[in-house]
Structure 1
Amino acid sequence: MHFSDSLARGVASTGPGTLHARTVTGGIKVPPRTGLTVRFGRGERPDVDLGVGVDDLRVSRRHGQLTFRRRQWWLTNTGQQLLRLPRGRMVHGSSEPVPLAPGYTPLFVRGSGFREHLVELYVTGHDDQGPVSRRRADTVAPDRWPMDDDERLLLVVLGQRYLLCEEDPRPLSHGRAAEQLRYLRSEESWSGRKVEYRIEAVRRRLHGTGFPTR
């Protein structure tokens, strides 16, 4: 059953499993009804229910779809370009359908050049009624981890290319980091082996605290 057919029958729901989908061109709210399919892509209605990448010829007219079955929404790539999910997971035309978990899921459609088109997905859980506006709420502070001055300096030297927002950054090698540390702290003896040892000690200490050590 196509989503447009469901709308024509007056189906509506805000209970668990309701799908909220949004792009820069609009948004829809879809009830959790078995067999219901929502299509998205560059095309127009009735071919798609949600437009995405409407000015990008690399985006297929029907690029993907979400189907409700077995109490979940399942994502399928029906286009020619990849779909990207969180944690770098890629979905292509030969991939098995991917189930959406309750809550928020950003989905990126590959386009021309470096373009990626965002489709924001939200599946209502049992304890909520969909996305809630929090415009006046206090901003959640970023996570912070205790480090001494030496550890902080060591991490800044190793990760300076990330801090400088360079394109495709990489950490400095342990040997190169030791050279810079000897220049900055000429009174101390630094070697690549010592840098490696100190980094591993920091990793072990922060393990289990929520710090992304891998």
Structure 2
Amino acid sequence: MCIGENDVRISRVHGTLSYQDGRWWLRNHGRLPIRVSNAVLLHTGGDPLPLAVGHTMLFLRGNRQREHLLEVLVSDGDGRAAQPRPSQLTVPPKRWRLAPEEHLTLTVLAQRYLAYDLQPLPLTRQQAAAELADLRPNEVWTAKRVEHIVSRLRQRLSDAGVAGLRREEVGEPVGLTLTVNLIWELVQSTTIVPMDLEWLELSGDQLPPS
């Protein structure tokens, strides 16, 4: 399959897929790494990567900030998943049910993501607590309270099957990884949306109750 035919950074044979020992394997033969959808970087000369059943996205970074995408489907024998569905209704995203306190807290923490910052980072717990205290001056907001709200929500979504929200899943050092993964889940599921930033312009009595 030809990818980036006019991109001089993409090798003529950048990678291969082969079937061996009951699994499909991806190997990199190109000069640049292949980024796999689970954030793994596969370099040339490295061990081949086994692909799980289902869809895997492969990204190749090309010339002049171009990025090429190849979607690979490894079937388990059920052909229904690969059938075209032009008349099928679009399935809406699964939005998570948040308490008003959780919704406001995560909107504050994730405001840079919702504002389309090019390289967003979550607010610190201290920054979020200070902003929440300004928004709700009649309540006591501390970094510890923000952390409790975030930890409780991470636990609930992890129990519901969202990956990457537990320390043992991401390894050390954890840093901001758990919070970033939580924010991405909420943003990509449209549980929190840019319109929620309007809350940050409201006075305390106009905000949703805790």
- TM-score, length basis structure 2: 0.71
- Map 1:21-170; keep pairs closer than 5 Å: 50-128=1-79, 131-170=82-121
Any idea what the Cα deviations from partners look like across 1:41-99, whole Å, max 9, x if unmatched?
Answer: xxxxxxxxx21111111111111112233333321111100101111011111211122
Where does structure 1 lack aligned partners over 5 or more consecutive residues? Answer: 1-49
Distance 1:154 1:129, change over 3 A: closer
Where does structure 2 lack aligned partners over 5 or more consecutive residues? Answer: 166-177, 179-210
In the alignment, which residue of structure 1 is the partner of 2:200? none
Report deviation, 1:114: 2.6
Any idea what the Cα deviations from partners look like across 1:112-141, whole Å, max 9, x if unmatched?
Answer: 243221122223322227721112112222
Query: Percent same amino acid among aligned pairs?
Result: 38
Task: Judge conservation of contact 1:123–1:130 (CA < 8 Å) in 2.
Answer: no
Which residue type is aligned with residue 11 of structure 2? S
Distance 1:137 1:112, change over 3 A: same
Aligned length: 165
Which residue type is aligned with residue 84 of structure 1? R
Distance 1:153 1:129, change over 3 A: closer
Distance 1:160 1:129, change over 3 A: closer
Give the aligned CA root-mean-square deviation in angstroms.
Answer: 1.9
Which residue type is aligned with residue 146 of structure 1? R
- Map 1:2-17; keep pairs closer than 5 Å: none
**161-170 vs 69-78, which deviates more?**
69-78
* 3-state SS in 1 of match to 2:16: strand
Distance 1:199 1:123, change over 3 A: closer
Distance 1:104 1:179, change over 3 A: same
